[in-house]
């Protein structure tokens, strides 16, 4: 066990921003590489940034991403007595009741601690050895180090990583559809793909642009690596449907594929000869791949078969659809 101690310290604004998730993954990795410990700290000193359920959303996000922590969660608001005490070791309140260190407010006139004070005190008290965070906090490092020295402590090493920006180079936001882990989850990206993407980025020295194409490839790979049981469970369908889900590039697509089989289609198909031939082949007991092959051989309209069976023009492999449906259901849909 080394003495390396890091912390991940999000503000409870709701589902983790992807850039913050990068910091969580980087801190976990740093702790693991050094046999150290990771503290989860919720920076809730700024009432304007405290969303209801914000901390719970973060805990859920970290669980989804598979990032565990060794200590905490500690809420900064629970430590206000210590923060206030520390502020009084550093200076004295002014006539308005606020306490400042140079130009920086440490205690507001109502004597509540600010982020700068709370963060420095907590980094000191929890024995944090390395602060790893986004470069938007670079301007805070010198001040926080002086506060820690003023309290008689030794500042941690500060490491700032580049920020994750949208593909257009602007700050990641809702508009990009991938700003938060909740957005990505909703878009059907499996956690493994998001984690792998963040691990790949590592600790970027400079700002990086989100590479959605890369994330999509990782998503396809992650789904391909799941067992039938696991894949079906993620999509929420019986394992017999798993073959239909193969080839889907994300879980949203997999759910859409499953729906084509599980929910009766509503398409009108005008290809009586092909459908009659299809019914014959199915009734003869041919296995699904052979049914497709035979239909192809006689120049059958495979698109019409797909449309009749799934109600859609595109979707999973046709043989997999045929395999997933009971014979009488196949005959019913192909009428």
- Site mask for ligand GLU (CB under 6 A), range 246-285, x = bound: ----------------------------------------
Size of residue set near ligand GLU by CB under 6 A: 7
Measuring CA to CA, how many Å separate 224 from each of 185, 216, 242? Answer: 18, 12, 11
CB-nearest residue to ligand GLU: 43
Q: Which one, 43 or 61, has the nearer CB to ligand GLU?
A: 43
- Site mask for ligand GLU (CB under 6 A), range 97-136, x = bound: ----------------------x-------------x---
Query: What is the rounded (10 degree) CA torsion for 249, 254, 255, 261?
Result: 140
Q: Rounded to whole angstroms, how far apart are CA atoms 104 and 101? A: 5
Burial of 11 (C-beta count, 10 Å sphere; 0-12/13-18/19+): buried
CB of 289 vs ligand GLU, minimal distance in Å: 53
Q: Rounded to whole angstroms, how far apart are CA atoms 242 and 250? A: 14
126 C-beta neighbours (distance < 10 Å), count: 19
Q: Rounded to whole angstroms, how far apart are CA atoms 15 and 214? A: 22
- Helix then strand count (H, E) for the chain reads 16, 9
Q: Which one, 165 or 319, has the nearer CB to ligand GLU?
A: 165
- Site mask for ligand GLU (CB under 6 A), range 35-54, x = bound: --------x-----------
Q: Does 9 bind ligand GLU (CB under 6 A)?
A: yes
CB of 177 vs ligand GLU, minimal distance in Å: 22
Run of H or E residues at 160: strand 157-161
Q: Which one, 143 or 262, has the nearer CB to ligand GLU?
A: 143
Strand partners, 230: none
Strand partners, 7: 39
Residue from 4, 5, 6, 10 touching ligand GLU (CB under 6 A): that is 10
Taking CB under 6 A as the binding criterion, the range among 5-13, 50-58, 189-197, 275-283 that sits at the site for ligand GLU is 5-13
- Site mask for ligand GLU (CB under 6 A), range 65-104, x = bound: ----------------------------------------
CB of 112 vs ligand GLU, minimal distance in Å: 16
DSSP-assigned letters across all residues of 308-330 = HHHSSSS-S-HHHHHHHS-HHHH
DSSP code at position 135 = G
What are the residues binding ligand GLU (CB under 6 A)?
A: 9-11, 43, 119, 133, 137
């Amino acid at each position: 066990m080394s003495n390396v101690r890091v912390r991940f310290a999000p503000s409870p604004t709701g589902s983790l921003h992807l850039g913050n998730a990068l910091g969580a993954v980087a801190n976990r990795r740093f702790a693991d590489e050094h046999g150290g410990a990771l503290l989860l700290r919720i920076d809730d000193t700024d009432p304007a940034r405290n969303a209801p359920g914000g901390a719970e959303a973060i805990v859920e996000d970290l669980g989804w991403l598979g990032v565990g922590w060794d200590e905490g969660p500690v809420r900064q608001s629970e430590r206000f007595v210590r923060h206030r005490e520390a502020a009084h070791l550093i200076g004295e309140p002014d006539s308005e009741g606020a306490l400042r260190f140079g130009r920086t407010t440490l205690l507001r006139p109502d004597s509540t601690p600010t982020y700068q004070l709370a963060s420095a005190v907590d980094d000191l008290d929890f024995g944090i050895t390395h602060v790893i965070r986004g470069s938007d906090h670079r301007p805070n490092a010198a001040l926080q180090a002086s506060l820690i020295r003023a309290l008689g402590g030794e500042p941690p090493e500060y490491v700032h990583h580049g920020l994750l920006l949208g593909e257009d180079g602007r700050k990641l936001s809702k508009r990009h559809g991938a700003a938060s882990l909740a957005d990505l989850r909703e878009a059907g990206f499996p956690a493994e793909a998001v984690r792998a993407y963040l691990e790949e980025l590592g600790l970027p020295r400079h700002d990086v642009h989100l590479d959605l194409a890369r994330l999509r490839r990782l998503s396809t790979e992650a789904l391909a690596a799941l067992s039938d049981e696991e894949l079906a469970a993620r999509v929420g369908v019986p394992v017999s449907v798993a073959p239909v889900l193969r080839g889907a590039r994300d879980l949203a697509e997999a759910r859409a594929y499953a729906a084509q089989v599980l929910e009766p289609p509503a398409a009108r198909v005008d290809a009586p000869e092909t459908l009659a031939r299809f019914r014959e082949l199915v009734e003869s007991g041919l296995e699904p791949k052979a049914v497709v092959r035979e239909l192809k051989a006689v120049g059958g309209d495979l698109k019409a078969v797909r449309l009749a069976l799934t109600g859609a023009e595109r979707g999973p492999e046709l043989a997999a659809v045929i395999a997933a449906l009971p014979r009488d259901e196949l005959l019913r849909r192909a009428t």
